Structure 1
């Protein structure tokens, strides 16, 4: 049975697109600790009985530059990213021999779904950075520069770390995906001053994970980040944005999805080396979707929640084709 997933599991997936899979357990523990911390914070908040009006006031973007907010955003995110990089270097890269800088060609693995994962992640990290700085009242130019630095710059640093590790290597195809994800966000802001096309993600469990749990994961959380057979990436197009004079609902989207199945290993040759035969198949989808950020509300709290959930494709009817050979309909697909 296909299942929905929590914000915790969404966070694990996003991290899986940033770092190699062997590093996921470290992040799983870290995110679990963050979960507890946030639960404690929300408990304190409820004890002090913050009113919704105060929350709205806090979340309302500043009309002019608020230097204190800008400093808070820069310091907080710099500290988080810096701590993450230091943790990676100390806990993971130190376990493997350092080599001279080298590159690898992994473009033929997992039907390129891992590359699309990079594209998805850099888009949303760039969006996160830009929207965070917009809260402080900075100019659009500053927002885009900062968002690009956060998304593309952070993943480039990790890719360079990989290039000096004997276990991994610098991947040019990863870099192309990273540039494309940041470019999708920045180009739309410059061209339309809005996001008409967004990247989204959905996941369901598959039968393949139990056949190779070391590669595809044992638990649901591991499968969420390791089982590419259950991952679907979407380009979600906001219809009203392309037809401003139409009577279409502003929140209605049409989404095109890409996924795959039949994969136990990254490549067919790797599967044969391990005594398995696999038959990977590309899958393409067409489905309806919602752009939650287009729902009009006076609550900045709700706007923030809608923005957070805009990373995920809602369950909806869908058409699927395997390598364009026949179609299959779903009442609900996610």
Structure 2
């Protein structure tokens, strides 16, 4: 799903100026060819991802009766962060796609939120409801809606624009250095159920804190540096046991980087949904400093 989103985003999004303080002139004329491309890409995305999840997730435990099951604390709320994040990414990607098509920024935000909500709640959550293993979780659906509509809120509340949300993943039981050993990473991904391996995930809220500083201090800090707060869980048993971790670390705002190339600017914009290795301080459960944490 992430790869499909990346390709759609990279191929179709309209690059904004690197300086987020610049106000781009909104397009007002909808391009029907571009709209057709987005429509076809969306249908393809829906079919491919539904087929995948149906095979590995829904089909083995499907039932005819609708099942309600709220899993508010099964994995110490890491899944709620996940639902918020992935709905936010889907919404934000489609917001930029619709701006590329020619819709205004606010209209694009609502269209993106609508597609994200329909997919995450109307397809994924409701289909979960017809399985004995998952069931329909109201707290998951609420997290989906909040994530989907955050880009809309940013259109109306400028202060929220200093926030972005990111994700990092290393298969639990492995370190990020294993990414350089293909055999180790392949084994890890094969053994782990990627979409439920919450012990390997960290969810981040990145803050463009420089907008909050006096100008005399702001000029000494590189524009692309942000501060991020991360949340992860460890030793979970999917029944409320385990412990959570909270991090504070450096983050990179690739939207502030102008490579001089439209193509590479698009690549950086797409990669901005991921938190890359950076100096990080764990503040819970015990204080620990990481020179690089992914």
TM-score (norm 2): 0.78
Q: Is the 8 A contact 2:249 2:280 kept in 1?
A: yes
- In the alignment of these two chains, the number of paired residues is 265
- Indicate the residue corresponding to 2:290 in structure 1: 330
Q: How does 1:293-312 map to 2 (within 5 A)?
A: 293-312=255-274
Deviation, 1:98, is 2.7
Deviation, 1:170, is 0.5
- Indicate the residue corresponding to 1:171 in structure 2: 137
The question of 1:196 aligning with 2:162 is answered yes
Q: Is the 8 A contact 1:289 1:314 kept in 2?
A: yes
Alpha-carbon distance in structure 2 between the residues aligned to 1:297 and 1:194: 26
SS at match of 1:176: helix
| 5+ residue gaps, structure 1 | 1-10, 15-30, 39-54, 209-216, 269-278
- Indicate the residue corresponding to 1:262 in structure 2: 235
Q: Relative CO higher for 1 or 2, CA cutoff 8 Å, sep ≥ 6?
A: 2
Deviation, 1:96, is 4.0
From the superposition, tell whether residues 180 and 78 of structure 1 become closer, same or farther in structure 2 (CA, over 3 Å).
Answer: same
- Indicate the residue corresponding to 1:221 in structure 2: 189
SS at match of 2:132: coil
- Indicate the residue corresponding to 2:206 in structure 1: 236
Alpha-carbon distance in structure 2 between the residues aligned to 1:81 and 1:119: 19
From the superposition, tell whether residues 266 and 59 of structure 1 become closer, same or farther in structure 2 (CA, over 3 Å).
Answer: same
Deviation, 1:186, is 1.7
Alpha-carbon distance in structure 2 between the residues aligned to 1:91 and 1:147: 27
SS at match of 2:206: strand
From the superposition, tell whether residues 282 and 90 of structure 1 become closer, same or farther in structure 2 (CA, over 3 Å).
Answer: closer
Larger Rg: 1
From the superposition, tell whether residues 60 and 309 of structure 1 become closer, same or farther in structure 2 (CA, over 3 Å).
Answer: closer
From the superposition, tell whether residues 85 and 261 of structure 1 become closer, same or farther in structure 2 (CA, over 3 Å).
Answer: closer
Task: Give the 4+ runs in structure 1 shifted more than 6 A.
Answer: 55-58
The question of 1:160 aligning with 2:126 is answered yes
Q: Is the 8 A contact 1:107 1:173 kept in 2?
A: yes
Q: Is the 8 A contact 2:62 2:132 kept in 1?
A: yes
Alpha-carbon distance in structure 1 between the residues aligned to 2:119 and 2:235: 32
Alpha-carbon distance in structure 2 between the residues aligned to 1:172 and 1:239: 33
- Indicate the residue corresponding to 2:103 in structure 1: 138
Instruction: Provide the aligned C-alpha RMSD in A.
Output: 3.2
Q: Is the 8 A contact 1:287 1:319 kept in 2?
A: yes
Alpha-carbon distance in structure 2 between the residues aligned to 1:307 and 1:67: 25
TM-score (norm 1): 0.69
Deviation, 1:60, is 5.9
Deviation, 1:148, is 0.5
Alpha-carbon distance in structure 1 between the residues aligned to 2:13 and 2:202: 35
SS at match of 2:71: coil
Deviation, 1:91, is 7.9
